[in-house]
Amino acid sequence: MGGWAIAVHGGAGVDPKLPEERQEEARRVLRRCLGVGAVALRAGRPAVDVVEMVVRELETDPVFNSGRGSALTQEGTVEMEASIMDGRGRRCGAVSGLTTVKNPVSLARLVMDRSPHSYLAFHGAEDFAREQGVEVVDNSYFITDENVRMLKLAKEANSIVYDYRVPVPSADTCSSSAGLVGATTDGGMQMNGLPISIYAPETVGCVAVDSGGWCAAATSTGGLMNKMSGRIGDSPLIGSGTYACGACAVSCTGEGEAIIRSTLARDVAALMEYKGLGLQEAVDYALKERLDEGKAGLIAVSRNGEVANGFNTVGMFRGCATEDGFMDVAIW
């Protein structure tokens, strides 16, 4: 075994014009969350506990699109989703359509540990949360003033927002704001075969391998800014946005519809299991050959303590740490 290792991400598809102060804010959060995970792994905590712990931290901080600070639906509400998977026995839990659960990833963990099911959604998931005594809050807790303003701009532009953390411009400069794309945008991006302006991939995720060589993964998101109510992305779908097995653990981010079609997370594991590829080789192959022009990124760890990442977007918020003391946080 190569020792424990951990990786985190805060979403792929970073706006190249993202202000430096926002970049540093993101790096600060990623470093803090990596530190939390590293301390837990050093203390001998199992990987599945660590990925839940780290994603809870990311959900609580409004810097990224999960938990507090989640993207808003067309109706101006928050609908969150998350999943978790333990490579030991390939146990998993997932939730969608959450509107009051403070930490969606922990409810996904409870679905895995305390229910006969793997996936609960909307009213069923909310009912289960109350049965389990999970902390719930009013939907307004998740909504930030900045996101309300950005949703307004997105509606005016009839657009999905690419990076809604870019500071909202004044009214007289709205038409040229970074991150909003109007009907005249070039590039022809499509989602699920239909033309859209551009997507908002700011999912958070964590993968870890513990000192025993067991891998786990967790992913959480608020989805797309200005999305249709009821839309479900890749994040809660085991095999698409999240996967863990005896060989590796993977968490994805990006264009959810493309990730779903390619079962991207599971494909990385399959390439290792069936084709004998190394971790980074499998990541690179999956991103190049399986996305059909979709845009995405992912992080992964192997049971041997290797860490890998990849993305075909401009950037991806990411970081990793290993037992030998290495730690790195990057965006571009």
Residue 224 placed within a domain: yes
292 is in an annotated binding site: no
- Residue 190 has a pLDDT of 47
233 is in an annotated binding site: yes
Residue 185 annotated as catalytic: no
Q: Give mean pLDDT, residues 264-280.
A: 98
Q: Give mean pLDDT, residues 247-269.
A: 96
159 band by pLDDT with thresholds 50, 70 and 90: low
Domain CATH for 308: 3.60.20.30
Q: 44: exposed, middle or buried (C-beta count within 10 Å: 0-12, 13-18, 19+)?
A: exposed
Residue 306 placed within a domain: yes
Helix (H, G, I), strand (E, B) or coil at 146: helix
Closest CA to 2 of 210, 187, 291, 226: 210
188 band by pLDDT with thresholds 50, 70 and 90: very low
Which H or E element spans position 251?
strand 248-254
pLDDT per residue as tens digits for the range 78-135: 999 999 999 999 999 999 999 999 999 999 999 999 999 999 999 999 999 999 999 9
Q: What do you get for the CA distance between the two ends of the chain, in Å?
A: 30
Residue 127 placed within a domain: no
Whether 146 shows a pLDDT value over 90: the answer reads no
Closest CA to 193 of 244, 260, 99, 286: 260
Residue 324 placed within a domain: yes
Q: Give mean pLDDT, residues 55-79.
A: 94
Whether 291 shows a pLDDT value over 50: the answer reads yes
Residue 177 placed within a domain: no
What pairs with residue 74 in β-bridges? Answer: none
Q: Give mean pLDDT, residues 253-277.
A: 96
Closest CA to 320 of 21, 41, 25: 41
Whether 201 shows a pLDDT value over 50: the answer reads no
165 is in an annotated binding site: no
Domain count, the chain: 1
Residue 172 placed within a domain: no
- Residue 226 has a pLDDT of 87
What's the pTM? 0.89
328 is in an annotated binding site: no
Q: Quickly count helices (H) and strands (E) in the chain.
A: 8, 14
Q: Amino acid identity, residue 307?
A: V
The answer to whether the CB of 222 falls within 8 A of the CB of 70 is: yes
- Residue 103 has a pLDDT of 98
Catalytic residue among 73, 203, 242, 322: 203
Mean pLDDT rounded to a whole number for the chain: 88
What pairs with residue 244 in β-bridges? Answer: 249
99 is in an annotated binding site: no
Q: CA 331 to CA 136: how far, in whole Å?
A: 32
List the Cα angle 229/8/201 in 5-degree steps: 30
Helix (H, G, I), strand (E, B) or coil at 324: coil
253 is in an annotated binding site: yes
The answer to whether the CB of 179 falls within 8 A of the CB of 161 is: yes
Residue 238 is part of which domain span? 5-67+83-89+200-330
Residue 317 placed within a domain: yes
Residue 233 placed within a domain: yes
